[in-house]
Amino acid sequence: MYKYAIEIFYSEEDEGYIAVVPELSECSAFGETEEEALEEVKTARYLWLETAKKERRKIPKPQGREMLKAVYKDILLSKTPSANK
């Protein structure tokens, strides 16, 4: 099984938790709790990968923590005052 990083955050707009697999385009799920969102995104990840296999799409190699570090670095840099000039 592929080991992709999963990010979970609370959405006030949705009044629940959103779980995403950043390396798999548009792979996300919703849950009223973090645990529910995690279980739902595991199902979404499985279905995403199965569909990609059936359609013979390229499946990205998991980058895990290194990819998340890069994403968070970009987010932090975009929030610094010097980056917004």
CATH topology of domain 7-84: Double Stranded RNA Binding Domain (3.30.160)
For residues 62 and 2, give the distance between their C-alpha atoms in angstroms, rounded to a whole number.
7
* Residue appearing with tokens 């697999």: 21
Residue 25 is predicted with a pLDDT of 93
Contacts of 31 (CB under 8 A, 6+ apart): 16, 17, 19, 37, 38, 39, 40
Residue 66 is predicted with a pLDDT of 67
Per-residue pLDDT of the chain (85 residues; tens, 9 = 90+): 568 999 999 999 999 999 999 999 999 999 999 999 999 999 999 999 999 999 999 999 888 666 667 666 766 777 666 544 4
pTM score, two decimals?
A: 0.71
